[in-house]
Amino acid sequence: MPVSSCDVLLQIEQPNGDWKCTGFRGVPAATRSWICVASAGSPLGRQTAAELGQQLAAALTAASPDVRVEEVDCPGLPATLDPAAHPDWQKLLVLLAAPDRRLAGLSWYENWESDEHAAAVMTVLPSPDLLRYLDPAITDDSHLLRRINAIAWSGNVGEVIPALLSRARVTMDAARVFLSYRRAETEAMARQLFDQLTHEGFAVFLDRFSIPPGYDFQRRLNQELEDKSMLLLLESCSLKDSRWTQHEIDFAKRYRLGLACVRMPDVKPADVLASVASRPRLTLSLADFTAPPAPACPPYPAAWPELTPDAAGRVVTFLKQEHAAALFDRRRRMRHDVWLALAGAGVAVDYTPVGPLRVRTGCREHLIWVTTRPPGVDDFRALYAARQRVAGEAAVVGPQAALEPDSRQRLTWLAGRSGCPAFDEGKLADFARCVAGWT
């Protein structure tokens, strides 16, 4: 495939110092993205870059059954990038540090940092100690490599992939997870994961911290679910008896949220909730906890303590992997549903898996922006920018049914200011009829 037709382009430094470019078509991405992974030039760094490239390629290939992969000619060397020459790409330079060579302040890195031309730099470290991996000559706090907030990995460099895809705007959505649990059994673990995931950059819902006093619990619960990308169940013995848990599971299935489970050691396979039996699952052992479970008040059999650091890290890694897959799957399925609704209303749709959908009524072209969470500022801003290149109308489609009045007012204001109406994904037939009437 020609580079110009790629949805995502990976440019990866190889162990021998050469560069390999791979093109991906059919990725359900938010924007077209060019991701370049570079090391500091050491053998270990180059090997790590190649490993990250392989795992990135696997994640993109698994994003949809429609993905096509092909090795392509690189547009040029990373050191010679002119970001203005590639206006249709979101460009991300990933700089990998390694223990055997520090990152030097090479001047060409600056070419990849441009808000005006959609280019950014991201540093990836084997541990959080940034100064350990920077050339000691870089002492100015205004230097690019000291300004950029780095991300660290511990067990496997692939741990950074969700954050990387988000920064490259492939997934665009922030990492958002809803924790479902029984307080009497897994509160200590839920609070621990809330803290660790929050430090990892996730927006996490936990009922103890996320619903202010005086708000309708049911309505706020639904709004928080609608806003999240993934439901993580802490599967304890009494979870199956919770009506709230079943409501959350039903909501996640109806609105295409990702759904994964972490199973406590005392939950027998026969006692797993039938509604989540086929979902991805990480099963814990007694050795994964800092202490044995304490007795709990009936009817709850046990109160589980916090996880060991290693076990908590495994849970977070498991969640990151499932979250990335869920984002791709939700976006793909939702765009397909929008396309079906428009086609059923007789609207001509130029279906592409990336960016806004282009539709035609009469002799004018219009744009439809699809978002997997309630529409926000970034959605309207992206659509407003794209609309400058077409003469027709533009609209946003996303979940809205559970929005509280204050959130709905903000959405109405954004739609009015941008001139781009927002439609609820739960009313696609009404949306399609409206678009069919555009002239």
**Is residue 329 within 8 Å of 357, Cβ to Cβ?**
no
Distance spanning both ends of the chain, measured CA to CA? 35
Burial class (CB in 10 A: 0-12, 13-18, 19+), 275: middle
CATH topology of domain 176-327: Rossmann fold (3.40.50)
Alpha-carbon gap, residue 439 to 436, rounded angstroms: 8
Residue 323 per-residue DSSP state: H
Number of neighbours of residue 305 by Cβ within 10 angstroms: 16
- Do the domains spanning 176-327 and 345-436 agree at the CATH topology level? no
Give the residue carrying structure tokens 């908590």: 312
Alpha-carbon gap, residue 338 to 427, rounded angstroms: 10
> What CA–CA distances, in Å, run from 213 to 29, 194, 207, 208, 209?
38, 20, 11, 11, 10
User: What sign does the CA torsion over 123, 30, 202, 187 have?
Assistant: negative
Per-residue model confidence (pLDDT) at position 219: 66
> What CA–CA distances, in Å, run from 315 to 53, 154, 260, 309?
23, 13, 11, 10
Alpha-carbon gap, residue 54 to 10, rounded angstroms: 10
Long-range contacts of range 168-171, CB-CB < 8 Å, 24 or more positions apart? 168/33, 168/35, 168/90, 168/92, 168/120, 169/29, 169/30, 169/31, 169/33, 169/90, 170/8, 170/27, 170/29, 170/30, 170/31, 170/33, 170/35, 170/60, 171/29, 171/30, 171/324, 171/327, 171/328, 171/331
Mention the CATH class of domain 345-436: alpha beta
Per-residue model confidence (pLDDT) at position 368: 92
Classify strands 364-370 and 357-361 as parallel, antiparallel or unpaired.
Answer: antiparallel
SS3 label, residue 13:
strand
Alpha-carbon gap, residue 411 to 424, rounded angstroms: 11
- Determine the number of helices (DSSP H) and then strands (DSSP E) in the chain: 11, 17
**Is residue 205 within 8 Å of 212, Cβ to Cβ?**
no
Kindly list the domain boundaries of the chain, sorted by start residue.
3-167, 176-327, 345-436
Helix (H) or strand (E) holding 394: strand 394-398
Give the residue carrying structure tokens 């929050």: 198
**Is residue 101 within 8 Å of 75, Cβ to Cβ?**
no
Q: Which residues pair with 359 in a beta bridge?
A: 349, 366
**Is residue 56 within 8 Å of 35, Cβ to Cβ?**
yes
Q: Which token pair is 316? A: 């977070």
Q: Which token pair is 85? A: 């020459």
pLDDT tens for the chain, 439 residues long, are 677 788 999 999 999 999 999 999 988 887 889 999 999 999 999 999 999 999 999 889 988 888 999 999 998 899 998 988 888 889 999 999 998 898 998 999 999 998 888 899 999 999 888 888 888 888 888 888 888 888 888 778 888 888 888 888 887 656 788 899 988 899 999 999 999 888 777 888 887 644 554 445 566 667 777 777 789 999 998 888 888 888 889 888 888 888 999 999 999 888 888 888 889 999 999 999 999 998 877 777 889 999 999 999 899 888 888 887 888 888 888 888 999 999 999 999 987 778 788 899 888 899 999 888 888 888 888 888 777 777 788 999 988 877 778 888 998 999 998 889 999 988 999 999 999 999 7
Per-residue model confidence (pLDDT) at position 218: 64
**Measured CA angle at 352 (ends 350, 353), to 5 deg:** 155
User: What sign does the CA torsion over 219, 222, 223, 224 have?
Assistant: positive
**Is residue 375 within 8 Å of 398, Cβ to Cβ?**
yes
Half-sphere exposure at residue 1, Cβ-oriented, CA atoms within 13 angstroms: 18
The verdict on pTM exceeding 0.75 is no
Closest CA to 19 of 1, 2, 35: 35
Closest CA to 205 of 186, 218, 183, 221: 221
